[in-house]
């Protein structure tokens, strides 16, 4: 099965390479070559679901390139595996990087270097891409533009790094036994995580059993990154569970596609969590008593049998949208006094 996963990652190499140099002709050719004509591209709010590679290019990739003309793609994780249900996925994590000179979704440009984190998951049938699930961290771009209209992050908003081990892109060929052990540990960890708060206090999660003492949790902009179990608990988990204590109790009709590639484990789902906002505490959202669907696309890296790093992107704009909060409209109002339009690309004197 190793050859299968290496082949799937290789199928995406031309597409990733075209986005590094951002050669439009090569990009269109690579999309058409890898994706089925009716492939579904599920993108974070407000892009939504798009059908076919041309629609994906026109509605998402082309506007991104228009906003950052010298755009390049920088992957720091590429992994592949088969889910327990038998589906083949490739997961990619990285940043889009470029000079932000034109508005994107009316986010005002800065004329400076900007970065947008992405987590992308590609499902293959045979050698054809049939589905993509992806989150672009648009709040991260708003923050760099000084245009984030919602509450500050509790954690630290940073340009998230790639794996400390340096093997996110190049590593030993996928080993079925190691991959299975890694997946089993993450699934066991998650089973213990959902025991709290329904079945007891934080101790029922047994976090030191699964997480490295120097773990880093790289949350999305709007939540932020945190260091160690204490940082994770204080800057994310406690507010999250205080607001939605029924975590893990509404699993019906949810998707969670888990894959593992040696020391790396990932999950994608559209959605893969459903919880009810019944209390204050998370993102300063009012306790509306409303069920929320969450799209969370995650990567974990294990080291010596413990989780050392965890990259998490949640489609926060979709969360706000479910509550009737139009973040982009508020952003436009927040920035109404700024001069609209493009910033000229600088040239060297």
Whether the Cβ atoms of residue 76 and residue 96 lie closer than 8 Å to each other: no
- Whether 169 is covered by a domain: the verdict is no
How much is the average pLDDT of 343-348?
A: 87
Looking at the fold, whether 281 and 327 belong to one and the same domain comes out as yes
Per cent of the chain over pLDDT 70 is 99
Looking at the fold, whether 46 and 117 belong to one and the same domain comes out as yes
The pLDDT of residue 348 is 83
Band (94; pLDDT cuts 50, 70, 90): very high
Total domains in the chain come to 2
Looking at the fold, whether 128 and 180 belong to one and the same domain comes out as no
Looking at the fold, whether 118 and 204 belong to one and the same domain comes out as no
Residue 252 has pLDDT above 80, yes or no: no
Average pLDDT for the chain: 96
Band (339; pLDDT cuts 50, 70, 90): confident
- Whether 301 is covered by a domain: the verdict is yes
Band (349; pLDDT cuts 50, 70, 90): confident
- Whether the full predicted model's pTM is greater than 0.95, yes or no, is yes
Residue 2 has pLDDT above 70, yes or no: no
pLDDT tens track for 309-337: 999 999 999 999 999 999 999 999 999 88
Q: Which residue has the tokens 């991260």?
A: 140
Residue 253 has pLDDT above 80, yes or no: no
The pLDDT of residue 318 is 98
Give the integer Cα–Cα distance in Å for 217 and 128: 33
- Whether 62 is covered by a domain: the verdict is yes
Band (245; pLDDT cuts 50, 70, 90): very high
pLDDT tens track for 170-212: 999 999 999 999 999 999 999 999 999 999 999 999 999 999 9
Looking at the fold, whether 127 and 8 belong to one and the same domain comes out as yes
Looking at the fold, whether 75 and 16 belong to one and the same domain comes out as yes
Give me the CATH number covering residue 236.
3.10.450.50
Band (251; pLDDT cuts 50, 70, 90): confident
Give the integer Cα–Cα distance in Å for 146 and 136: 18
- Whether 235 is covered by a domain: the verdict is yes
The pLDDT of residue 284 is 92
Looking at the fold, whether 203 and 77 belong to one and the same domain comes out as no
Residue 112: partners with Cβ closer than 8 Å, 6 or more residues away: 99, 100, 144
| Residues in a beta bridge with 257 | 268
Residue 48 has pLDDT above 90, yes or no: yes
Dihedral Cα 42, 44, 47, 49, nearest 10 deg: 20
- Whether 190 is covered by a domain: the verdict is yes
How much is the average pLDDT of 132-149?
A: 98
- Whether 342 is covered by a domain: the verdict is no
Tokens coding 349: 């004197």
Looking at the fold, whether 117 and 216 belong to one and the same domain comes out as no
pLDDT tens track for 287-309: 999 999 999 999 999 999 999 99
Looking at the fold, whether 84 and 181 belong to one and the same domain comes out as no
Residue 69 has pLDDT above 60, yes or no: yes
Residue 224 has pLDDT above 70, yes or no: yes
Q: Which of 72, 67, 132 is nearest to 96 (CA)?
A: 72
Looking at the fold, whether 127 and 17 belong to one and the same domain comes out as yes
How much is the average pLDDT of 111-133?
A: 98
- Whether 116 is covered by a domain: the verdict is yes
Domain with 236, as residue range(s), is: 176-333
Looking at the fold, whether 63 and 207 belong to one and the same domain comes out as no
Residue 213: partners with Cβ closer than 8 Å, 6 or more residues away: 228, 229
- Whether 139 is covered by a domain: the verdict is yes
Looking at the fold, whether 223 and 276 belong to one and the same domain comes out as yes
């Amino acid at each position: 099965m190793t050859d299968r996963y290496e082949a799937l990652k290789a199928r995406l190499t031309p597409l990733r390479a075209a986005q590094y140099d951002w050669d439009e002709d090569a990009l269109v050719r690579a999309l058409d070559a890898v994706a089925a004509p009716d492939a579904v591209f599920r993108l974070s709010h407000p892009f939504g679901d798009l059908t076919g590679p041309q629609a994906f290019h026109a509605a998402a990739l082309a506007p991104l390139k228009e906003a950052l003309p010298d755009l390049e793609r920088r992957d720091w994780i590429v992994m592949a595996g088969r889910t327990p249900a038998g589906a083949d996925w490739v997961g990619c994590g990285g940043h889009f990087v470029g000079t932000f000179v034109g508005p994107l979704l009316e986010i005002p440009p800065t004329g400076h270097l900007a970065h947008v984190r992405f987590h992308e998951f590609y499902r293959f049938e045979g050698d054809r891409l049939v589905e993509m699930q992806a989150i672009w961290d648009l709040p991260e771009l708003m923050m760099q533009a000084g245009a984030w209209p919602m509450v500050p992050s509790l954690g630290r908003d940073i340009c998230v790094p790639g794996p400390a081990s340096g093997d996110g892109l190049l590593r030993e060929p996928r080993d079925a036994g190691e991959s299975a052990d890694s997946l089993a540990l993450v699934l066991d960890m998650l089973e213990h995580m959902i025991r709290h708060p329904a079945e007891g206090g934080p101790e029922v999660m047994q976090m030191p059993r699964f997480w490295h003492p120097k773990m880093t949790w790289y949350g999305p902009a709007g939540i932020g990154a945190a260091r160690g179990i204490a940082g994770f608990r204080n800057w994310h988990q406690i507010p999250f569970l205080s607001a939605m204590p029924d975590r893990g109790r509404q699993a019906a009709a949810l998707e969670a596609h888990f894959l593992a590639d040696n020391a790396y484990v990932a999950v994608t789902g559209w959605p893969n969590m459903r919880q009810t906002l019944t209390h204050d505490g998370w993102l300063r959202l009012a306790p509306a008593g409303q069920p929320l669907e969450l799209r969370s696309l995650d990567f974990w890296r294990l080291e010596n049998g413990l989780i050392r790093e965890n990259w998490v992107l949640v489609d926060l704009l979709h969360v706000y949208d479910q509550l009737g909060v139009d973040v982009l409209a508020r952003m436009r109002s927040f920035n109404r006094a700024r001069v609209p339009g493009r910033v000229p690309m600088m040239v060297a004197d």
